[in-house]
Amino acid sequence: MTLAGKTAVITGSNSGIGLGIAEELARLGSDIVLNSFTDNPEDHALAERIAEEHKVRAVYVAADMSNGDACRSLVAKAREAMGSLDILVNNAGIQFVAGIDEFPVEKWNAIIAINLSSAFHTTAAALPLMRAQGWGRIVNIASAHGLTASPFKSAYVAAKHGLVGLTKVTALETAEEPITANAICPGYVLTPLVEAQIPDTMKKYGMDRETVIREVLLERQPSKQFATTAQIGGCVAFLCSAAAEQITGTTLSVDGGWTAL
The residues assigned a catalytic role are: 156
Closest CA to 9 of 41, 48, 28, 35: 35
In one letter, which amino acid is 49? R
d(CA 120, CA 180): 15
d(CA 178, CA 201): 46
Buried b or exposed e, range 205-238, using 16+ CB within 10 angstroms = eeeeeeebbeeebbebbeeeebbbbebbbbbbbb
Contacts for 92 with CB less than 8 Å, ≥ 6 apart: 11, 12, 18, 35, 36, 65, 114, 115, 118
Closest CA to 7 of 51, 40, 52: 51
d(CA 22, CA 19): 5
